[in-house]
A and B are shown apart, each in its own frame.
Chain A
Amino acid sequence: MSEINLPAAAEPVDPVGLKAVGIAAAIAVLLAAPFLASEYWINAIIVPFLILSLAGLGLNLLTGYAGQLSLGAGAFMMVGAYATFSLQLRVPDLPLPLALVVAGLIAGAVGLLFGIPSTRIKGFYLIVSTLAAQFFFEWLFLKFPWFYNGNSSATIALSRGLSFFGLEANTPHGRYYLTLGIVALLTLLSFNLIRGQTGRNWMAIRDMDTAAAVIGVPVFRAKLQAFAVSSFILGIAGALWAFAYLGSASVQSFGLTRSYQILFIIIIGGLGTIRGAYFGAAFVSLLPLALDWLFQHVFGGHVDAGLLQNIQKAIFGLLIIWFLIKEPEGLARLLGLQRAQGARRRLFPS
């Protein structure tokens, strides 16, 4: 029997070393991306993809991890965008990165406020509370010209453009690196939260909230933390969406459609996974391109843009239904990167 204990002929490749190489390669690709892709790809696909991933990540902390269903993602993005605009306009000494952090904190506080009903109601009824945020802020930011500085088109834009501690970030490359840096940092921080006590509290509430309270999880505090952190991230994502992607934005940029889009991203990508937000956002960003390509090459001709949009919506609808029924863990699981069977997400906590 002793020969069984002999080491295998070949030393296995050090998995840590392999992982480090993989991460280094990924970072290299991310940093080099602007030089590999065309300006169109950076402006129209990659930057919005990164921002939607960030928004998806923010909502996923609340909905996927803490189990609190929200249709207010657009509202909290809106708050972040309008707060950044106001800060840049009225506190010109505040550098943009700090303005983004403060705007995130404002969005977080707003999220916390609209999260208070979650301590009493859940699931379907909670949607109503978050939907209220959506409608309230659309009204608020249109009703009072102070929020958009009274300009005739009711839009917001940064008059001084984007800068990052003195570095101009108004080129496609600048916007890409600014967005990438913020998204990477917030992803890392979210990941840390999820691995720690905060994440455990959130998942405990999601999986079984009565038991969570009984074993000593501070349910009230943890739910409000989830709303605040989620809205903080959504707020920063909103500011990036307005100023790093669109350039100028209005309340329509963050309407209910946006809220649905972010929710679809995490349903398709995978509820309760960090990478799910990225998969979902990639899917949402690439599907229109893929369909366009398909129609051009398979059906041999250009298709009317309106028709294409409708087809897209139909495909989304079908996919959402399919994912909700068959695969609540979304692409993250389908791509074989997910946890074992039996750990199923439920969108509506029972």
Chain B
Amino acid sequence: MTTSAGPALEVRNVSLSFKGVKAISDLSFQVERREICALIGPNGAGKSSLLNILNGVYIPDSGEIVFEGEHFRRMQPLEAARRGIGRGFQNNALFSGMSVLDNVIAGLSRKSRVTLVEEAFRLPRALSQEKAFRARALDVLKLFDLEKHAETVVGTLPYGVQKKVEIARAIVARPRLLLLDEPLAGMNAAEKQEIAAVIARLNRELDLTVVLIEHDIGIVLKLAHHVVVLDYGRKLADGPPETIRDNPDVIAAYLGAQHAEAVA
């Protein structure tokens, strides 16, 4: 794939502001290949904004992104997808009028090699691609135990199920870096365990590098290899979960001063 053995992703001195309000200030960190990196921090810390920069939805004011050895002043959404950056959104950004299966197949769009005319006339290449796409999408749905919902219109499903469809859509094209924005939000404990196990398995078996935002500290500490803590757009701490847990700055910012006192 890539020649350099450096980190999968490097964020270098990235700053972002919205109409003068700083969302991210001079942020730098690295994500190693095949690691699960968790971004944590209070609401408004700039976590989702950072994912949007990595996807090319937002353009940073300054700084650069290094993905697999290549430098980007800014990403383009399509370019990011082509290079293998998958994404799950915070509030489900599914295509609500389409079936679960079609939503997942849409994630294969950039792999499509057939022309409009081939599709209109259902020529052999179009048919065989469609068959291959369906099979691939069904395989991914099986991973999340979603085959029974394959033909259901996604907008009609409960929130937790939709979240799973979103992860399925994000991984169907086999990304090398997966960005997940609160993949466990709104789920019950059993569902959280289930999804966390799937993420760990994807990471292990597909060598997938994962950057995720999550508020459930218990799960984060178990799942992640590396934690980056953000507060007001600045990096507060960066390291393995064990060191983060005991970092007094983190406790103060993330869990609140009262907790810090209690812990102390």
Contacts and interface: CB of A to CB of B under 8 A. Distances in A.
To the question of whether A and B form a pair in one complex, the answer is yes
B81 A216 contact: yes
B81 A225 contact: no
Contact of A229 (B95, B116, B130): B116
B119 interface: yes
A211 B119 contact: no
A167 to B, nearest CB: 24
Q: What is the interface residue range for chain A against chain B? A: 20 to 34
B214 to A, nearest CB: 19
A202 to B, nearest CB: 10
Contacts of B81: 213-216
Contacts of B133: 197
B155 interface: yes
- Among A189, A197, A210, A272, residue most surrounded by chain B Cβ atoms (within 10 Å): A197
Contacts of A203: 95, 97-98, 102
Interface string B73-117: 000011011100011010001111110001001111110101010
B80 A197 contact: no
A340 B156 contact: yes
B106 A214 contact: no
A342 B86 CA distance: 27
A204 interface: yes
- Among B78, B102, B107, B129, residue most surrounded by chain A Cβ atoms (within 10 Å): B78
B94 A208 contact: yes
Nearest to B97: A343
A341 B95 CA distance: 14
A143 interface: no
B121 A217 contact: no
Interface string B167-185: 0011001000000000000
Contacts of A217: 78, 106, 109-110
Contacts of B209: none
Interface string A197-224: 1101101101110111111111100000
Contact of B110 (A189, A216, A340, A343): A216
A214 B95 contact: no
B93 A197 contact: no
B75 to A, nearest CB: 10
Contacts of A218: 78, 109-110
Nearest to B82: A216
Contacts of B109: 197, 200-201, 204, 215-218
A46 B130 CA distance: 36
B171 to A, nearest CB: 10
A197 B130 contact: yes
Given A218-B78, A340-B156, A343-B156, A212 B95 contact: yes
Contacts of A272: 97
B77 A344 contact: no
Contacts of B96: 207-208, 342-344
A203 B120 CA distance: 16
Contacts of A196: 114, 119, 126, 130
A302 interface: no
Given A196-B126, A204-B95, A214 B121 contact: no
Contact of A344 (B97, B102, B121, B173): B97
Contacts of B56: 214
B122 interface: yes
A217 B81 CA distance: 9
A22 to B, nearest CB: 22
Interchain residue pairs A-B with the least CB separation, the first 8: A216-B81, A211-B93, A216-B110, A213-B77, A207-B95, A342-B156, A342-B155, A196-B119
Given A198-B116, A342-B96, A342-B155, 12 more contacts: A196-B126, A197-B119, A200-B105, A201-B106, A203-B102, A206-B95, A206-B97, A210-B57, A215-B87, A216-B81, A217-B109, A229-B116
